[in-house]
Amino acid sequence: MKRSRLTALLPFFLLAAGMLVWHLTRTFYFSDDVWFLHALGGSERLADGWLAFLAERYTGWSSRLVIEAVLVLLVHFPMAWRLLDTAVTVVIGLCLSRLCNPEKRQAVDWAIVGSVFLLPLSTLSSAGWIASTLNYLWPLAGALVALLPAGALLHREKCPPALWIAAVPALLYAANLEQMCALLAGVLLLLIGYLLWRDRRIHPFLLVELALIALSLLFILTCSGNAVRSAAEIAAHFPAFPTLTLWDKLEMGYSSTLYYLLMRPNPVVLLFTLLPAGLIWSRRAGLPARIVSVIPPAAVVLAPMLSVWLAPQPTSPAVPLLALLLTPVVLAAFTGLLLAFEKIPTRLIALCLLALGGGSRVMMGFSPTIWLSGERTCFFLYAVLLALSLLLWREYQTKAPRTLRAAVLTLWLGLGGMVLIFHILSRP
């Protein structure tokens, strides 16, 4: 292998090493991992009880059969999970490189490493490491793999046949999770719409993927186990849920989302809000644009200082009022994103992605487990914010001075490194 190739892969070697260290420091078993460990009645029934387990889950609890078919087996092999889950994080990084870095700039690949390190892995411990990562981290990787053919069409690149083939099982796995199914449908429709506008045609494979997502959604909606689970969760955790109006559920989803984004220290949101500000200021835009661009990062820093007293929990009575007061910050973030990109199509795609990411979390207001699931339901929203950060970083490569690029990348990797160290040292 040539030295240049080794140098190009160096960021992903670092990514693999950092994530492997994190995985090796995790301990087992607790929460849902314990239940899945005994779900088949012991290792001697792993084969003959597998199909019976899936049938029971479909009728009595969940439509996530693709995910749980893997989970109920992998939970017996924690070392295999450590290695496979590390590989999944590297796959996320490599997919982001193909999707967001067609120019193959190493500065973008280093930012991708910092972005993966910034993923809030600590939020995935609440339901057990294996159960949570297979329900959140793996669908994210699957969705990115499924989008690689669309990404190749977007960048007018050739997509290797293996990636076309891998996209189908990856999509089926990702779309088996309700949140990701909705988000993936929105992203794919957005890309199809843009490619249709640009090229005046649609590649048939994208329509096949869209059809598979529609079938996955139909499977979710018609699964009898989901209705059973919803009734059980309402009785156990949210008895007042049936009395909520449509507005109540939207407000609950919106205010709880803003709680996690702005009312607690959040390095992902800080990075995302700083990047448009840096671009706008480096272009010496007008004073109104500069003021608007600094409002979101200022709020990310200051709002947690206020909410720690007024709203220490997402269920605190003050959260809806604080969310209302912070709504101008959300509007400023959308405006800053709009001003940061110069090309109109890129602006529209970025704004739609931000809306889709936010919607994937706000929709949790329609779930009785919104409080039980906690911050891990923001995982895909954080992934969208990091993807948008990478799109902004591409703008930096040609629009920002070298000193600013160096400062931003240093901050990016510094934040990612600190978050990774925190995750390694946190409760295993």
- Per residue in 327-368, pLDDT tens? 999 999 999 999 999 888 999 999 999 999 999 999 999 999
- Per residue in 297-324, pLDDT tens? 999 999 998 888 888 888 889 999 999 9
Look at residue 428 and tell me whether its pLDDT is greater than 80.
no
pLDDT confidence of residue 174:
97
pLDDT confidence of residue 314:
87
Give the mean pLDDT of the chain.
92
3-state secondary structure of 39: coil
Look at residue 393 and tell me whether its pLDDT is greater than 90.
yes
Alpha helix positions (H), 1-64: 3-24, 32-37, 50-60
- Per residue in 129-144, pLDDT tens? 999 999 999 999 999 9
Residues of the chain above pLDDT 70, percent: 97
- Per residue in 62-76, pLDDT tens? 999 999 999 999 999
Tokens of 123: 């939020």
Phi, psi values for residue 77, rounded to 5°: -130, 75
Q: What sign has the CA pseudo-torsion 146, 250, 355, 330?
A: negative
36, 76 in Cβ contact below 8 A?
A: no
H/E run at residue 301: helix 287-310
- Per residue in 192-203, pLDDT tens? 999 999 999 999
Establish whether the linkage from the previous residue to 29 is cis, with ω within 30° of 0.
yes
Report d(CA 205, CA 27) in Å as an integer: 41
Residue 386 banded pLDDT, cuts 50, 70, 90 = very high
Tokens of 411: 């901050």
pLDDT confidence of residue 311:
81
pLDDT confidence of residue 117:
97
